[in-house]
Amino acid sequence: MDRKKHRIMMVSDFFYPNFGGVENHIYYLSQCLLKLGHKVVVVTHAYGNRSGVRYMTGGLKVYYVPWRPFVMQNSFPTLFPSLPIIRTILIRERITIVHGHQAFSTLCHEALMHSRTMGYRVVFTDHSLYGFSDAGSIHMNKVLQFTLADVSQAICVSHTSKENTVLRSGLPPEKVFVIPNAVDTAMFKPAVVQPSRSEIVIVVISRLVYRKGADLLVEVIPDVCRLHPNVRFIVGGDGPKRVRLEEMREKHSLQDRVEMLGAVPHAQVRSVLISGHIFLNSSLTEAFCIAILEAASCGLLTVSTRVGGVPEVLPDDMIILAEPDPGDMVLAIERAISMLPKVDPQVMHNRMRELYNWHDVAKRTEIVYDRALKCPNQNLLERLSRYLYCGVWAGKLFFLVMIVDFLFWRLLELWQPAEDIEEIPDLTLPHISNKETLQETE
């Protein structure tokens, strides 16, 4: 049966040349959707001198909107001024589905708001877990409640993430799908010659921030080095907590046993991973953790904190879970060291290739798009009434914001009718077989 072809606009503040889990997810998902015959464009903010329209592998079109990041790669929240450019892109590209990524992205929230005002179907993917008690989380949860009040469908990367998103946003659970991340197994494969096990190498690749458990590493690494003289650590990543790790290395005289690489470009992550035997993840909160998939695909045994959606990621014989406590993590690392002789990196890689595949993620996302397009049209009053349930005062504020957005859109329709905006012809490229890997297309 012929599948319905969608015209999708991916929106997020987080995209290449910035690197991270959200960026990789958007890129690989877009590539696979293109291979399935859909039209995909990405909208993000400008990065340095990268502004305007760029084309990436497979004809993926990227709009680098000329707005500069405000804080943590997020564009400055503007609410209404972003409507004209979002509207123009939607009309020029003849978009049918708007897919926003990451609750922390300002551009994502604004694009979804404007798209719903214009009557487009919108899908939101949440990639992170948030709390309920601190001021930042309370603020973010209220913004998410506003954005998702009128969303067509939502996607989470784990069942834990789904529970978190439903509680934070008040979204009906039947509207939320769970579609995990995946890994490019053609890129992340074991070394041809395995490193010697006379010296055990433990690899850490992570942003060195509090949320990623950098403070735990400061306590765990000296204890492991004291208990096992043949263990060495390779730490890749940068962040504000790097100073603490450097101080720990100096204090315990571990300069020859703890190698600090700094920020590692994504293209070089595999070369770092295959030099080790064990991958250590010390995150304090994690919705999914793509880094674990990449390590397992390279044949590394994983030791991780038992937080968020991490227990859902790998089978029990491929990962050792520990509480986010230094003592428990040291015990887990010792257990991993004793299990190493039984680990076959190639077998682990083959299992990952069967378990996680971006083409499977794309096909499952297609189903969500189909469901979104089947959502019934609602008039303005029915849609606005949803915002009144977002809180006694916040609900009225959101209601007012959407009315102003609607009036601004109608004004734009009078000033520059949609018929006056030129539609862009699609770029046609030679057919690429679905059997080809993402790595081969680059």
pLDDT tens string 372-420 = 999 888 788 888 888 888 888 888 999 999 999 999 999 999 999 999 9
Higher pLDDT, 383 or 284: 284
Mean pLDDT of the 135-162 span = 89
At 426, the pLDDT band (50, 70, 90 cuts) reads confident
* Alpha-carbon gap, residue 183 to 110, rounded angstroms: 29
What's the pLDDT score for residue 163?
94
- pLDDT, residue 51, reads 93
**pTM > 0.85: yes or no:** yes
C-alpha neighbours within 13 Å on the C-beta side of residue 428:
1
CB atoms within 10 A of CB 66: 10
Topology (CATH) of 200-356: Rossmann fold (3.40.50)
Instruction: Please name the residue that has the structure tokens 């990621």.
Output: 313
pLDDT by residue (tens digit) across 258-283? 999 998 988 899 999 999 999 999 99
What does the block give as tokens for 255? 């300069």
Mean pLDDT of 322-336: 96
Residue with tokens 């214009």: 118
Q: With the C-alpha atoms ordered 141, 162, 269, 258, is the resulting torsion angle positive or negative?
A: positive
Secondary element (H or E) of residue 61: strand 60-65
pLDDT tens for 185-234 read 999 999 998 888 889 999 999 989 998 999 999 999 999 999 999 999 99
Same fold, 7-182+359-420 and 200-356: yes
CA dihedral angle for residue 39, residue 96, residue 174, residue 134, rounded to 10 degrees: 90
**Which amino acid, one-letter code, is at 232?**
R
Predicted local distance difference test score (pLDDT) of residue 365: 97
E-assigned strand segments in 73-193:
74-75, 97-101, 121-126, 153-156, 176-178
pLDDT score for 36: 93
d(CA 272, CA 137): 34
- Helix, strand, coil percentages (3-state) for the chain, rounded to 5, are 45, 20, 35
CATH number of the structural domain 7-182+359-420: 3.40.50.2000
Q: What is the pLDDT of residue 240?
A: 92
Reported as a single tens digit per residue, the pLDDT across 94-122 is: 999 999 999 889 999 999 999 999 999 99
Name 122's bridge partners: 98
Q: So what's the pLDDT on residue 137? A: 80
SS (H, E, C) 258-270: EEEEECCCHHHHH
Tell me the two tokens of residue 127.
């990639």
Q: Is the pLDDT of residue 133 over 80?
A: no
Domain borders along the chain are: 7-182+359-420, 200-356
Chain centroid to Cα 405, Å, comes to 28
Distances (CA, A) of 209 to 225, 237, 328, 347, 350: 22, 10, 21, 33, 32
Query: Which has the closest alpha carbon to 348: 270, 311, 273, 296?
Result: 296
Identify the pLDDT of residue 18: 84
Sheet with 153-156, strands from edge to edge, namely: 52-56, 60-65, 39-45, 7-11, 97-101, 121-126, 153-156, 176-178
